[in-house]
Structure 1
Amino acid sequence: MTRLDQPDPAIAPATHEMSRRDRLALAVLLTASFTLAVDFSILNVALPVIGGDVGLSLENLQWIATSFALCAAGFTLLFGRIADLFGRRRLFLAGVALLGASSLVGGSATNPEMLIVARVAQGLATAAVTPAALSLLTTSFPEGPARERALGLNGALMAAGFTTGAILGGLLTDLLTWRLAFFINVAVAVAVLAVAPFVVAESRPARRPRLDLLGSVTVTGGLLAIVYGLTTAGEQGWGDPLALATLGAGAVLLVVFWIVERHVTAPLVPAAILRRPTVRWGNAAGLLAFATETSLVFLLTLYLQKVLGYPPLIAGASFAVLGIGTVLGGLVGPRIITRWGDRRTLVAGFGVQAAATLSLLLLGPAHAWVVLLLAATFVGGVANLVAIVGFMVTATSGLPDDEQGLATGIATLSQQVGITMGIPVMSAVVAATVNSLGGESADTVLTGVTTAIVVNASGCLVGALVAALLLPRPRVRPVTSTA
């Protein structure tokens, strides 16, 4: 029997057996990634209570989330490159220390200024730790099954962290205090700082090039403006002048950044890395994977609360099934990649996610439809994480170790822009539909949600097409075996 879909022996990865130190290092890095994922969602349901306790007005509540998101997305590319140049472990430990200190300040906050400063510092810590941890993962394990397992576990725990944060935030706020959402980070940071120096090896180049300051300023400013514009559009609508102005300013700064990068001797982002189809189109697929799934949770939250009338705590708990699905997807994703390759895995993941999303068009006003919602979100969660693992493997493969911080920084940026972009787009679709039907009611919200579900599923199909048509086919060799 002849099989044609086997890797070329010239590029076949070496096997890598994990030592006890490797396992401890992996546990430390995954713990940090899980904690940061929890931080993205843990405060969302607690915002009104937090605002009341620290004296933050209702119209300014969004800054608790926005200040964090701005820094987490805006500085991630810069910190990813800094990790390559100055040491990944060094930046990882500094970021974890900043996370612990800022969380201590946030949990002790007694006024709005203290809380917002803490959230800004938490965002900066996230921007430093996430690409540093990912690049430590990719440089600690060679390309192949070992790295794919590590990235699969990382994806599973990050997805579980988003879901856990939503559920845990509600439980802590209702039963204890929202301040524990901050203080948990302090305990995690202390534990990571106690263990990481002994099990995580440093990696940095022997010769350190100069940091591209002009490129750093323009790309960071551009990303901050883009994320702020997307966030403002989600809150005020896409016709808001401030949202349009900041999006335009962000686009201009990113164009200036691209011009700068083509003329400096040591660019922050070498043009060669962006010319790689795996980096360019792999990250495009990753952006769609995060945008579609996070915005689907937003749509289904509207359905559960405004159509079925569930309270926020029960609506949040309904996504526990999605969390289980994402963990399972992160565990099986590496196995599927080993069998099918990352390109086919991306196509399959997006295809199944699209089918699961489209099944939600059947949702109706009766409570019995929750059964369909739970089944579809479970299947879609598995498929989404399979696609996400495929994206991470694709976007970081075939690159030298001295570019892994940059590669994981770009991948992290795709993730965070996807998370930021998806909800404003879906919100705009729902709002336009509801307004065209004469205003908000259970029926019009249901129609708006199902209309947005079609757009969401279309995003999944675009992701499948990007992977199928634009990612390179794997090199193959014939393997002959006799039965």
Structure 2
Amino acid sequence: MAIDTTEHGILTPPLDTPRLSTRDKLVLFVLCAAQFMVALDFSVLNVALPVLGDDLGMSRSGLQWAVTAFALPSGGFLLLFGRMGDLYGRRKLFLSGLVLFGAASLLATLAWDPASFLAGRALQGVGAAAIVPTGMSLLTTTFAEGPARDRALGISGTLLSLGFTVGMVAGGTLTDAFGWRSTMGLLTLFALVVLPLAPALLPESRTPDRPRLDIPGAMTVTGGLLSLIYALSTAADHGFARPDVITTLIAGIALLAAFVTVESRTAAPLVSLPMLRRRTVAWGNLGGLVTFSMMSTVVFALTLYLQEVLRLSAFETGMVFGVQGVLSAVAGTLAPKVIGRLGARRTLVASLTGQGALIAALLGLNAHTWSVWLAVTAVSLASMCHLGAIISYGLTVTSGVPDEEQGLATGLVTSTQQVGITVGIPLLGVLATTSGDLLTGVHTVLAIDAAVVLLAAALVAAGLRVHRSGTVEAEALGAR
């Protein structure tokens, strides 16, 4: 039972953490392993791209599609698949996503030309879009709100962050030792480990009274997200002046605006607008969007700085981010305890503030080799705060949401993650690469990044403020 603490604005877990049963641990292993596998896919291929391009005959400009082909469907279909899981069965869709992801990873491993490889990457993205929201909603419906869910989300958030970092380190190591195909083969092995365990362990869950799927809403939101992600991903490499970037950016904004109009007039909407008006959902997702987008930009800028300014090798750069990954794992074990004492809202605000302050400390980087120690220290501590923000914003958004809407709530959480990872580098990273002096460009990116995170911390703190006369239930539910 969660403790009623209206002062913090949401349900705060008690300090004692319950023991998980063996079956609970196995369920958690399956769900977290699947999330880790998807997180790994975001970064494991990055270091291998030049080798991959030479082997398959892909041009430098075409290499961005190795990333975009995965990002488009994985971000575009998240909300749709999250709602389909609510309506037709989360376990069923989760298993289907695992099968598709494993088969697509095998296709990418065996690819014989650019078309077959990009087809594998696109199908991986579709599988990931099914796995992530249904896996998260299975987690939040399996573990009751309170300490058990806090612990489960803490482990899941840690592995999500760790998967991205491990992918950066493992990608270079595997490519050097076995070639680029081993990066995709690793994902195939992950799917083969998880898939046999999932059917026997995961319970089926769905909304009891099944309404019709909101087709107009699904078409507009999916089209809008696909257009927006394409525009931002392409702009990262080619700038915003290209006609296709401008066209798809406008189309994405227009379709998302149409989506809001459609949802306001539909009896059974894909996204409940009253849910979006909950303060916990709206402000929690803002915190999540900022922490993901700004941290991905820091990693991008530091990668350029370490290799182009300090002249570190790819392996040495990977070791810098390896330290970051270890401390993120430590933060994952500490975050539930901090949330237990402070509440999710205060933890989210404190984590964003710490992340912004530590990014600001990176402005002290210069061309001297000793700066690597500042980079290691500041980015690792910032990542600990980032991990705290990931866990606390997920708890903030899903707290108080009925089980039948958990797929929708977690779909919003995971959409925020995906869009955040996608938009940060195109919006800010281009400043580092287009500046005449790279170090000056990196400083510009870091300064804007820190300012955005600190501003978001202030806005989230104000937006989630709770009056002492209010109730936890009213704050968790927001405007209905």
State the TM bucket, normalised to the shorter chain. over 0.9
| Counterpart among 277, 293, 296 of residue 295 in structure 2 | 293
| Counterpart among 265, 268, 271 of residue 270 in structure 2 | 268
AA aligned to 1:455 is I
1:254 paired residue number: 256
State how far apart, in whole Å, the 2-side matches of 1:50 and 1:476 are.
Answer: 60
2:237 paired residue number: 235
1:466 paired residue number: 459
Q: Which moved more, 1:304-313 or 1:221-230?
A: 304-313
1:424 paired residue number: 426
1:163 aligns with 2:156: no
How big is each residue's C-alpha offset from its partner over 1:113-139, in whole Å with a ceiling of 9 and x where there is no partner?
110110000000111000011001100
2:477 paired residue number: none
CA apart distance, 1:141: 1.0
| Counterpart among 443, 453, 474 of residue 450 in structure 1 | 443
State how far apart, in whole Å, the 2-side matches of 1:291 and 1:430 are.
Answer: 15
Scaled by the length of structure 1, the TM-score of the pair is 0.93
State how far apart, in whole Å, the 2-side matches of 1:312 and 1:379 are.
Answer: 22
State how far apart, in whole Å, the 1-side matches of 2:388 and 2:469 are.
Answer: 23
Question: What secondary structure, in the 3-state scheme, does the structure 2 residue paired with 1:280 have?
Answer: helix
How big is each residue's C-alpha offset from its partner over 1:310-345, in whole Å with a ceiling of 9 and x where there is no partner?
222322222111111221222211111110011110
Work out whether residues 353 and 380 of structure 1, in 8 Å CA contact, stay in contact via their aligned partners in 2.
Answer: yes
State how far apart, in whole Å, the 1-side matches of 2:469 and 2:204 are.
Answer: 35
State how far apart, in whole Å, the 2-side matches of 1:174 and 1:314 are.
Answer: 14
State how far apart, in whole Å, the 1-side matches of 2:395 and 2:294 are.
Answer: 19
CA apart distance, 1:278: 0.8
State how far apart, in whole Å, the 2-side matches of 1:50 and 1:12 are.
Answer: 48
How big is each residue's C-alpha offset from its partner over 1:419-439, in whole Å with a ceiling of 9 and x where there is no partner?
11111122233245x2xxxx3
1:368 paired residue number: 370
- Where does the alignment leave 5 or more consecutive residues of structure 2 unmatched? 471-480
Work out whether residues 279 and 394 of structure 1, in 8 Å CA contact, stay in contact via their aligned partners in 2.
Answer: yes
2:23 paired residue number: 21
State how far apart, in whole Å, the 2-side matches of 1:5 and 1:204 are.
Answer: 31
2:336 paired residue number: 334
State how far apart, in whole Å, the 2-side matches of 1:420 and 1:12 are.
Answer: 31
- Where does the alignment leave 5 or more consecutive residues of structure 1 unmatched? 478-483
Q: Provide closer, same or farther for how the CA distance between residues 153 and 199 of structure 1 changes in structure 2, counting only shifts above 3 A.
A: same
How big is each residue's C-alpha offset from its partner over 1:127-168, in whole Å with a ceiling of 9 and x where there is no partner?
100001100110011111111111111110010000000111
1:481 paired residue number: none
Work out whether residues 12 and 343 of structure 2, in 8 Å CA contact, stay in contact via their aligned partners in 1.
Answer: no
Q: Provide closer, same or farther for how the CA distance between residues 62 and 124 of structure 1 changes in structure 2, counting only shifts above 3 A.
A: same
Question: What secondary structure, in the 3-state scheme, does the structure 1 residue paired with 2:40 have?
Answer: helix
Work out whether residues 38 and 161 of structure 1, in 8 Å CA contact, stay in contact via their aligned partners in 2.
Answer: yes
State how far apart, in whole Å, the 1-side matches of 2:365 and 2:426 are.
Answer: 22
Q: Which moved more, 1:188-197 or 1:468-477?
A: 468-477
CA apart distance, 1:73: 0.4
Q: Which moved more, 1:260-269 or 1:153-162?
A: 260-269
Q: Provide closer, same or farther for how the CA distance between residues 24 and 337 of structure 1 changes in structure 2, counting only shifts above 3 A.
A: same
CA apart distance, 1:16: 6.0
Work out whether residues 238 and 428 of structure 1, in 8 Å CA contact, stay in contact via their aligned partners in 2.
Answer: no
Scaled by the length of structure 2, the TM-score of the pair is 0.93
State how far apart, in whole Å, the 2-side matches of 1:431 and 1:107 are.
Answer: 31
State how far apart, in whole Å, the 1-side matches of 2:154 and 2:199 are.
Answer: 24
CA apart distance, 1:281: 1.1
Q: Provide closer, same or farther for how the CA distance between residues 324 and 418 of structure 1 changes in structure 2, counting only shifts above 3 A.
A: same
2:205 paired residue number: 203
CA apart distance, 1:476: 8.7
State how far apart, in whole Å, the 1-side matches of 2:121 and 2:333 are.
Answer: 32
1:94 paired residue number: 96
State how far apart, in whole Å, the 1-side matches of 2:168 and 2:331 are.
Answer: 19
State how far apart, in whole Å, the 2-side matches of 1:65 and 1:18 are.
Answer: 37
Work out whether residues 341 and 474 of structure 1, in 8 Å CA contact, stay in contact via their aligned partners in 2.
Answer: no
How big is each residue's C-alpha offset from its partner over 1:33-92, in whole Å with a ceiling of 9 and x where there is no partner?
111100000001111111222222222111111000001100111011011111111111
1:82 aligns with 2:58: no
Alignment of 1:314-463 (within 5 A): 314-431=316-433, 434=435, 439=436, 444-463=437-456
Number of equivalences: 466
2:138 paired residue number: 136
Work out whether residues 343 and 390 of structure 1, in 8 Å CA contact, stay in contact via their aligned partners in 2.
Answer: yes
AA aligned to 1:286 is G
How big is each residue's C-alpha offset from its partner over 1:386-424, in whole Å with a ceiling of 9 and x where there is no partner?
111111101111100111111111111111111111111
- Percent identity of the aligned residues? 46
How big is each residue's C-alpha offset from its partner over 1:182-225, in whole Å with a ceiling of 9 and x where there is no partner?
22222222222211111111111222111011111111000000
Work out whether residues 35 and 185 of structure 1, in 8 Å CA contact, stay in contact via their aligned partners in 2.
Answer: yes
1:31 paired residue number: 33
AA aligned to 1:175 is A
1:145 aligns with 2:147: yes
How big is each residue's C-alpha offset from its partner over 1:242-289, in whole Å with a ceiling of 9 and x where there is no partner?
222211100111111111111121111111111111111111110000
1:480 paired residue number: none
Q: Provide closer, same or farther for how the CA distance between residues 315 and 17 of structure 1 changes in structure 2, counting only shifts above 3 A.
A: closer
Work out whether residues 12 and 340 of structure 2, in 8 Å CA contact, stay in contact via their aligned partners in 1.
Answer: no
How big is each residue's C-alpha offset from its partner over 1:333-377, in whole Å with a ceiling of 9 and x where there is no partner?
111111001111011101111121111111111111111111111
CA apart distance, 1:475: 6.5
Question: What secondary structure, in the 3-state scheme, does the structure 1 residue paired with 2:289 have?
Answer: helix
State how far apart, in whole Å, the 2-side matches of 1:12 and 1:366 are.
Answer: 46
Question: What secondary structure, in the 3-state scheme, does the structure 2 residue paired with 1:262 have?
Answer: helix
1:304 aligns with 2:297: no
CA apart distance, 1:23: 1.0
AA aligned to 1:422 is G
AA aligned to 1:273 is M
State how far apart, in whole Å, the 2-side matches of 1:385 and 1:26 are.
Answer: 18
